[in-house]
Structure 1
Amino acid sequence: MMNLAHWRLLVAIADTGNISRAAERVGITQSGASQAVTQLESALGIQIFSRSRREVTVTALGEQVVEHARAMLSHLTAIRNLADDSQGLNQGRIRLGSFPSLISTLLPPLLRNFQQRHPGIEIIALKATDIEIEDWLARDAIDVGVVLNPAAERHALIIGRDAWMALVPGSHPWGRRAMAQGVTLSELATQPFILATSGCTIDAQSLMENAGHALTDVRFTVRDPSTAHALVREGMGVALVLASTLPEDMRNLRALPVVPAIHREFGLVRSQAGQHSPAASALWGMIDSTIRATTIADAQSPETPYRHTSSP
C-alpha cells in the first residue's frame, strides 16, 4: 500500500541521489527505504530509479512521477497550513526537555513527522538530567518533558522501554554463559564495579538498594556510559548499563541480561503550561496517534517501540 511516507521518500531520493541519506531525511532505516522503493515500483509497475553501486538516478519516466509527487506534497502542505491557520497552529513554540540519548535516537523521527505536519511550530529540544526535567516541569519552564518510570496518575505517553544489562570483560568467567542464564543482581553486587550514573537518579546503585543489595567494591564512578564501557573492556570491573547505551563495538565485551529482567521506561509528561498550549497539545495528539498505530500494527510482537498508558 502506498502512503505519504513513500512519496516523501521518493522525493528525498531524487534530491539526494542516495537511499541512505534519503532514509535518514524521512526518518526510516536504509533497509526499510529499499523495501519501500521496491514496493512503490511494484505497485506502479514502472522503474522510477536506476541503481548503481555509487548512486541512484531517476529514470525518464521516474522524473515525471517525482514531479507529480512534489506537487502532491506541496498541495498537502498548503491544506495543512490552511487547517493550522484555522486552529491557531500556524505558529508557536514547544519547549521539550529530554535526556541526550533520546534526543539523538528515539525522538527525531517523531519530531520530524510533527514538523512536516506543522512547519510553523518551532520545537526547542533541551538536554537535561531526569532531576532537571522534573524541576522544569514543576516550574512550567518546559511544555513537555521525558520522565523516568512515570506513575500512572501522571497520564504519561510511554515512548520507550529499556532493559538493564550486565556488561563484563570478554575474559570474565561469565563471558561463557548462555544469554538465557543471565546474571543476578546479587552476583553483580560482589564484583569489582564500574558505576555509570549518566546523571540520572535511577542507576546501578539505586537498583541494588531497591533489591536489598549493596555494591561492596565500587572501583570507579563515571557519568558517561562510554567511559564505563572502556573501563570494563580494560578489565577494570563489571557494570550495569542500559541496552540502548551498549557500544556498537563489542570487542572484548559481553553483555548479559539481568535476571529477573529489570526495565526502565520513559514517557512524555506535560506541564501545566503544556496542557494549555495548542502547539503542545497538537504534538501530544500526534505522538498518541503514532503510539496507537504502532501498537495495532505490532500487536503480535512481544514488545513495541511505544506503549500507551492513558491520557486525560
Structure 2
Amino acid sequence: MNLKQIEYALAVVDTGSFTRAAERCHVVQSALSHQIARLEETLGVILFERSSRRVRLTPAGEAFVHSARPALEATRRIAEDVAAACGEVRGQLSIGEITSLTELDLVDLLAGFHRQHPKVDIRWLMAKSELLIADVQERRLDVGFIGVWPGQRLEGVEFRLLAEEELVAVLPMGHALTAVEALTLGDLEDQPLVDFPAGTGARRQTDEAFAAAGVRHRVQFEVTNVRLVEKFVQRALAVGLVPARIASSFKDVAIAAIRDAPQRRLYAIWSKTPTPAARAFVHMIEQSLANREGN
C-alpha cells in the first residue's frame, strides 16, 4: 500500500466515479483503476461495488475511508507544518461559500491572501450551506462561509459569527402589497413564493419563521441560486424573501421590510485541526472584521 493508492481511492469516494477521480488526480482512468485494484489485493478486500451507473463503498470500503482520510491528511501536513515552523505558509487552501454571502468580499480576501502566501494553492467553490458544513467536517474543505437559521447548532467545526441579517420581501413592481405600510408574514400567506429547495439551510430560515408566526406559506418555485429569485419576481411570478443587502442589488423589483421577518446567521467555519494555510486565512478574516469594526 502506498499514499498514491490511498489518494486515488479517496478521490473515487469524493467524486463517486472512477472517471472523475482520474480527472481530479490528473491520470488516465486505467492507471487509477489498476492502482486501486492493487490496493484491494494488498488489503484482501473489495473496497467498491461497481456498476454501470454508480460506484458504492462496501462495508470494508467504509472502514478504509474512516482510517485512510486522516492518515493521508496527516502525511500531507508534515511538509506544511515543517515549513510553517520556519515561517513559510504553503500547501493547499480549499474554500467554499454560499451564493448569497454578503458580509465579506471573498475574492478580495483571497487576492490579499495570495499576495502574502504565494506558495499556497487556492481552490474555491460555491455550494449550499449543509454541503459546506459536511465538507468542512469531513476535511474536504478547509474553510466554509455559510448562512443558517438562528436555531441551528454547528457541531464538529470551529466557527466565527460574521453577521445576523433579517430577510426582506421583494415584490413585483406595482404589486398590491407595495401599498401596505408594514408587512407581516401573514400578508404573504396566499402569495406564491420563490425560495430555495425544502430541507436546505436557506429554506429553513423562512420555514421556521412562518411556523413560528403560525402562518401557512406556499413555495411555488424552488431555485438553487439567489439570482433566480430576482428573475421570478421581476416577471411577477412570485414574491421572494432575501437578505436586505442582496435585495438592494436587485433591479426592477420593490423591496418591503417585514415586521416578523425571517432571520439568518452568517458564519465562517473551519476544521478543529486547521492546516497552516487555513490558520493563516482565518487570521486574515479576523483582521478584516476587526478593521471594519474599527472604522
TM > 0.5: yes
CA–CA distance in 2 between the matches of 1:206 and 1:223?
A: 19
- Aligned: 1:171 with 2:174: yes
Q: SS of the residue aligned with 1:214? A: coil
What's the secondary structure of 2:201's corresponding residue? Answer: coil
> How do 1:1-312 residues align onto structure 2 when only pairs under 5 Å count?
86-89=86-89, 91-102=90-101, 106-149=105-148, 151=153, 155-178=158-181, 181=182, 183-197=183-197, 200-203=200-203, 204-215=206-217, 217-246=218-247, 248=249, 250-251=251-252, 253-274=253-274, 277-297=275-295
Give per-residue Cα distances to partners, 1:109-152, cap 9 Å, x unaligned. 22222222222222211222111111112211111112334758
Q: 1:219 to 1:102 in 2, by over 3 A?
A: closer
Secondary structure of 1:223's partner?
coil
- Aligned mates of 1:155, 1:211 — CA distance in 2: 32
CA deviations 1:8-54 (Å, max 9, x no partner) are xxxxxxxxxxxxxxxxxxxxxxxxxxxxxxxxxxxxxxxxxxxxxxx
Name the aligned partner's letter for residue 286 of structure 1. M
Partner SS state of residue 141, structure 2: coil
Q: Distance in 2 between matches of 1:248 and 1:288?
A: 26
**Shift of residue 296, structure 1, vs aligned partner:** 2.1
Partners of 1:168 and 1:255 within 8 A in 2? yes
Output the amino acid matched with 1:225: V
Secondary structure of 1:272 counterpart:
coil
- Matched residues in 2 for 1:139 and 1:269: separation? 13
Find runs of 4+ consecutive structure 1 residues off by over 6 angstroms. none
1:100 aligned counterpart, secondary structure = coil
- SS where residue 231 of structure 1 aligns? helix
Asked if structure 2 preserves the Cα contact closer than 8 Å seen for 1:195 and 1:239, the reply is yes
- Provide the secondary structure at the position in 2 that maps to 1:190: coil
TM-score, normalised to structure 2's length? Answer: 0.60
Shift of the alpha carbon at 1:273? 4.2
Contact 1:146-1:266 at 8 Å conserved across structures: yes
Residue of structure 1 equivalent to 2:37: none
Aligned partner of 1:214: which letter?
A: R
Amino acid at match of 2:110: L
Number of equivalent positions: 207
CA gap 1:129/1:152 in 2 versus in 1, 3 angstroms: closer
What is the DSSP-based 3-state SS (H/G/I as helix, E as strand, rest coil) of the residue aligned with 1:156? Answer: strand
Whichever residue aligns with residue 140 of structure 2, its letter is: A
**Structure 2 residue aligned with 1:61:** none
Measured after TM superposition, the shift of residue 188 of structure 1 is 1.4
SS at 1:292 equivalent: helix
Identity %: 22
Give, in whole Å, the separation in 2 of the partners of 1:95 and 1:231. Answer: 33
Distance 1:103 1:262 in 2: 16
AA of the residue aligned to 1:250: K
Contact 1:156 1:269 in 2 (8 A): yes
Cα deviations by residue, 1:204-259 (Å, 9 ceiling, x for unpaired): 334323443321x44333333333322322322322223343374532x2111121
**Aligned residue type for 1:289:** Q
C-alpha distance in 2 between matches for 1:285 and 1:234: 43
2: distance between equivalents of 1:85 and 1:165?
Answer: 48
The answer (yes or no) to whether the contact 2:102–2:245 under 8 Å persists in 1 is: no
Shift of 1:172: 1.6
* Structure 1: unaligned runs, 5 residues or longer: 1-82, 298-312
- What is the SS of the residue equivalent to 2:227? helix
Q: Tell me which moved more, 229-238 or 107-116.
A: 229-238
SS at match of 1:236: coil
CA contact (8 A) 1:133 1:145 kept: yes
Q: SS of the counterpart of 1:186?
A: helix
Q: Aligned partners of 1:283 and 1:105: how far apart in 2?
A: 13
